Amino acid sequence: MSEVQLRVLGSRQRDVARGMARIDQRTMQKLGVSSGDVIEILGKKKMSAIAWPAYSEDEDPSIMRIDGFLRKNAGVSTNEYVVVRKAEVKMLRA
């Protein structure tokens, strides 16, 4: 399973409380994820988010933008590094 190490930056106001992690296209390809796929973020704690393309000015393969809620859940602050990989999602039957 492919994984990358990314530096955490704060999200834009319009992305707050949406559960999304903005990462660049090259990193998404390396991880084998598309927009809307679930990724796993490993900081001091493990959590998940929805992969979403980075803004054009953020096309840097070493950063990821997540909001304060996701940073708190992962146990990280801005400018800290996390490991990111594609999450293995299992569907539950009703």
Position 61 scores a pLDDT of: 82
Q: Where are the beta strands (DSSP E) in 1-94?
A: 3-10, 20-23, 38-42, 46-53, 63-66, 81-86
In the numeric block, which tokens belong to residue 2? 């492919």
Residues forming beta bridges with residue 69, ordered by sequence position: none
For the chain, which domains are there? 3-86 (2.40.40.20)
Position 85 scores a pLDDT of: 96
The number of residues in the chain equals 94
In the numeric block, which tokens belong to residue 16? 């707050």
d(CA 6, CA 92): 31
pTM of the model: 0.88
| Average pLDDT per block of 10 residues along the chain, 94 residues long | 92 94 94 96 96 88 94 96 92 76
| DSSP H helical ranges for 1-94 | 25-31, 68-74
